[in-house]
Amino acid sequence: MTHGEVELQLDAYVDGELAPGDARELETHLKACVECARLHEARVALSATIREQVPAFRAPDALRNRVRAALRNAAEAPIPRRLMPSVAARWLALAASLALVAVGSWRLGLSRAGADALAGQVLASHVRSLMPGHLTDVVSSDQHTVKPWFNGKLDFSPPVYDFAGRGFPLVGGRLDYLVGRPAAALVYGRRQHLINVFLWPAKQGPVGGPDVATRQGYHLLHWTTPDYAYWVVSDLGMTELHDFAQLVQQADSAASRPAAARGLP
């Protein structure tokens, strides 16, 4: 191996990008060649120095606001028919604006506009969760894996069920941020469809909003138990989504009775 070859491979080696065979060959050479070994050390040190001394920037708040405003304007501007002829394309643009633009107006309380915005935010979160890599933080069909995963991440322990026997297998869970507070998002499947269940303590966040809504081809169901405010979103048919909601409600009331009897929270 020439020094030139070593130097070229060294960076890939330090970055863990060298093929295993080449890496072994390089390691053998590094053991034998003092000069190259020194170069290797220097590169490792350089990487550490860069990471330590070259800052990754945090986007200024002014920029954050600017971009949000610009996106909101762009989303509201009429879309040229020539470019976006179909309803589907219009939906895409809307979904994009929902997914990218933070719906910042969250202090609307329980007014109708507020409830409407809440539904919008729930839907936006659902759409975003369907983007690659966003669906789950914890992937498991086991409720006893998903439920404890939320420990220390939320100030409540969301009820997690597995309805695999009824055709709604648990897919996983993730943390979400809705209505100005952290919320649990549980993901269930139904054939090729995904269902997002959002919930937060009923006493600590807004409740209300339409019980049933259809927006941009998605169905939303909302209900409140004494403990939790629930939102369920999916592209699943309304009938099946109602079936699913019923399963959750039944499981909830079944779970709350013995717990209350035992004096558990």
Partner 1 sequence: MVLPHLDAAYTLARYLTRNDHDAQDVVQDAYLRALKYFRGFRGAEGGDGRAWLLAIVRNTAYTWQRRHRADGLTTEFDEELHSDAVAEDHPGATLERDTARESLHRALDRLPPEFREVIVLRELEGMSYKEIGDVTGVPIGTVMSRLSRARRRLQEALCAGEEGQ
With binding defined as CB under 8 A, does residue 26 bind partner 1? no
Number of residues that bind partner 1 (CB under 8 A): 51
With binding defined as CB under 8 A, does residue 62 bind partner 1? yes
- Residues 208 and 193: their CA atoms lie apart, in Å, by 26
134 vs 242 by CB, closer to partner 1: 134
With binding defined as CB under 8 A, does residue 68 bind partner 1? yes
Grouping H, G, I as helix, E, B as strand and the rest as coil, residue 88 is helix
46 vs 164 by CB, closer to partner 1: 46
Among 2, 53, 86, 192, which residue interacts with partner 1 (rule: CB under 8 A)? 53
Instruction: DSSP letter for 104, please.
Output: -
Q: For residue 183, list its beta bridge partners.
A: 176
DSSP class per residue in 4-54: HHHHHHHHHHHTT-S-HHHHHHHHHHHHH-HHHHHHHHHHHHHHHHHHHHS
With binding defined as CB under 8 A, does residue 74 bind partner 1? yes
Straight-line distance from the first to the last Cα atom of the chain, in angstroms, rounded to the nearest whole number: 68
- Judged by CB under 8 A, the stretch of 6-14, 158-166, 207-215, 244-252 that binds partner 1 is 6-14
- Residues 160 and 19: their CA atoms lie apart, in Å, by 43
With binding defined as CB under 8 A, does residue 51 bind partner 1? yes
- Residues 27 and 13: their CA atoms lie apart, in Å, by 9
Region 210-249 residues binding partner 1, contact defined as CB under 8 A: none
- Residues 245 and 142: their CA atoms lie apart, in Å, by 19
Region 111-130 residues binding partner 1, contact defined as CB under 8 A: 121, 124-125, 128
With binding defined as CB under 8 A, does residue 92 bind partner 1? yes
Residues in contact with partner 1 by the rule CB under 8 A: 7-8, 10-12, 15, 17, 42-43, 46-47, 49-51, 53-54, 56-60, 62-64, 66-68, 70-71, 74-75, 89, 92-93, 95-97, 99-103, 121, 124-125, 128, 131-134, 177
